[in-house]
Amino acid sequence: MTQIHQADVIVVGAGIVGLAHALAVAKLGLKVVVFERNPYAVGASIRNFGMIWPIGQPYGELRDRALKSREIWLEVGAKAGFHLDRCGSLHLAYREDELQVIKEFIETTTQQKQETLALLTPEQVAEKTPAVITDGLLGALWSATEVIVDPREAIKKIPGFLSAEYNVEFKFGTVVTEISHPYLIASGEKWQADRIFVCSGVDFETLYPDTFANSGITKVKLQMMRTVPQPENWRAGVALCGGLTLTHYTSFAHCPSLATLKTRIETETPHFPEWGIHVMMSQNAAGELIIGDSHEYGLNPEPFDRVQINQYILDYLKKFAQVPELEITETWHGVYAKLPGKTEFITQPETGVTIINALSGAGMTLSFGLATEVVEKML
C-alpha cells in the first residue's frame, strides 16, 4: 500500500506569496508543508527591487493591505535576520506637469495618509540624500512608508525562520505534478491535506491549465540591473523615482494632471510607454544599487533581454541620480503574472484548493497582507 503523508495545509510554491500564506496558516498552529520545485525560489520573488511600496497603492483596501504587509515584513525581518531599510521614498519632479501631479496627489489624500507624506523643496531633498541632482529640480514627493529588503536574501532566509518558529516543513527540489483534493502527488509521493494553496506564480498553468487558460492572466517581463557596491560605504539613504513612475502606479491615477503628463511623455519619449519603462533605484545592505525597470506584456515573453532598454533606463536615471559608481555587474529579467484591471487572482478550481496568483508586480508589497485576509476568510 502506498504511504500517504499528512499535513493540515499544503502550500505549493516558496516565493513570497507561498511564504506569506505559510506564515499566516502556521500562526494558527496548523501543520504546514511547503513544496518548491527548485532548490530555492528563483522566480519573480527574487528578481525585483526588494521594495515594500505602500506609496504605489491607492488609498483604501489596497493601501491598508500594503501597510499590514509592511508591519509583517518588519516582524519577520527582525526574527529571520535579514536586512530591512526603512528608508522611505522620493518621487522627483523636474517638469511642471510632474510637480502638479504630486501636488494633486497630496491634496487629495486624507489627513491620516498625509502624516507620512510631504512636498519637499530641492533644498530639503538635498538634506535627505546625496543621490539626487538638484539642478533643475522643482520639488519631490516624500513618503515615509517604503521599506527596502534584498529579495535574494529575504526569500532564502524566511523558510528557515518559518521552520524554526512554526515548524513549517519545506520540500525543496520537489515538483508537484498532480492535485486532486485532498490528495497531492509530489515527486512520486502522495500527500493528503485539508487545504491546499497553490502559490506557484506563472507555473500554476501546469497544474490547472484550463483554469489558467480561462483566467485572462497575461505575463509581464521586466528588465533590471545591479551595480557594484558603492565605494566608501556611500548610501543613497532613500529609494528614488523619476517622474515616469507617477504614470505607473495606480495611486496617482486619480490626479487630474496625469493625462497631461502622459501625453507629454508619449510625445517627447515614445520609447518609454512602448516598453513600459519607469525608472527607480534602491540600494541593498551590500551597497549595491538595483535599477530598473521595463514592462513587456504577453503570454510568451521573449527570453532575450534588450540592451537598448537597459540603456534607456540608465540614461534616464542619470538625469536625476548622481552616484559614485554606475558600473553594472548583473542584468536580468523577471516574469510575473498579471490579470489586467485586477490586483490579484484568487479562485477555487476544486473544493479545498485555492489558487492565489497574479499580484501584478506588487507581490513584495501586498503578499503578507493578502495572505492574512485569505487565511482568515478560509480557515
Cell 520537489, residue? 174
Check residue 113 and give its pLDDT. 59
**DSSP code at position 301:** -
**DSSP code at position 37:** S
206 and 332 assigned to the same domain: no
Q: What pLDDT, in 10s, does the model give residues 82-118?
A: 999 999 999 999 999 999 999 999 999 865 556 799 9
Assess whether pLDDT exceeds 80 at residue 250. yes
Assess whether pLDDT exceeds 90 at residue 201. no
Q: What pLDDT, in 10s, does the model give residues 14-36?
A: 999 999 999 999 999 999 999 99
CA distances from 105 to 91, 110, 144, 157, 346 (A): 12, 10, 15, 37, 30
Check residue 165 and give its pLDDT. 98
Tell me if the pTM is above 0.85: yes
Give the CATH number of the domain where residue 275 resides. Answer: 3.30.9.10
Assess whether pLDDT exceeds 70 at residue 281. yes
Region of poorest pLDDT, from 54-63, 92-101, 198-207 = 198-207
178 and 259 assigned to the same domain: no
Domain that holds residue 106: 89-144+218-338
The answer as to whether 293 is a domain residue is yes
What does DSSP say about strands 218-227 and 328-338: parallel, antiparallel, or unpaired? antiparallel
The answer as to whether 53 is a domain residue is no
pLDDT-derived band at 232, boundaries 50, 70, 90: very high
What average pLDDT does this structure show over 204-223?
93
177 and 121 assigned to the same domain: no
Residue 234, Cα to own-chain centre: how many angstroms? 25
Cβ-based neighbours of 72, under 8 Å, separated by 6 or more: 20, 23, 368, 369, 372
Q: What pLDDT, in 10s, does the model give residues 282-306?
A: 999 999 999 999 999 999 999 999 9
The answer as to whether 119 is a domain residue is yes
Total count of domains within the chain: 2
Instruction: Cite the DSSP H helix spans in the chain.
Output: 16-26, 61-80, 96-107, 111-114, 122-128, 151-166, 209-213, 258-268, 271-274, 307-317, 363-378
What average pLDDT does this structure show over 189-212?
92
The answer as to whether 79 is a domain residue is no
The answer as to whether 62 is a domain residue is no
Distance CA 150, CA 290 (A): 10
What average pLDDT does this structure show over 303-329?
98
222 and 299 assigned to the same domain: yes
228 and 347 assigned to the same domain: no
CB 201 within 8 A of CB 357: yes
**What value, to the nearest 5°, has the Cα angle with vertex 361 and ends 58 and 345?**
80
Assess whether pLDDT exceeds 90 at residue 378. no
Burial of 317 by CB count in 10 Å (0-12 exposed, 13-18 middle, 19+ buried)? buried
251 and 129 assigned to the same domain: yes
227 and 312 assigned to the same domain: yes
Q: What pLDDT, in 10s, does the model give residues 136-163?
A: 999 999 999 999 999 999 999 999 999 9
> What is the SS3 assignment for 23?
helix
307 and 182 assigned to the same domain: no
Check residue 64 and give its pLDDT. 95
The answer as to whether 73 is a domain residue is no
CB 118 within 8 A of CB 238: no
Query: What DSSP assignment string belongs to 91-106?
Result: EEE-SHHHHHHHHHHH
Distance CA 100, CA 95 (A): 9
Check residue 114 and give its pLDDT. 64
Q: What pLDDT, in 10s, does the model give residues 31-53?
A: 999 999 999 999 999 999 999 99
279 and 322 assigned to the same domain: yes
In the chain, the percentage of residues whose pLDDT exceeds 90 is 95
- Helix/strand number for the chain, H first, E second: 11, 20
318 and 351 assigned to the same domain: no
236 and 357 assigned to the same domain: no
209 and 222 assigned to the same domain: no
Among 84, 15, 82, 12, smallest CA distance to 45 is for 15
Burial of 83 by CB count in 10 Å (0-12 exposed, 13-18 middle, 19+ buried)? middle
The answer as to whether 68 is a domain residue is no
Assess whether pLDDT exceeds 60 at residue 370. yes
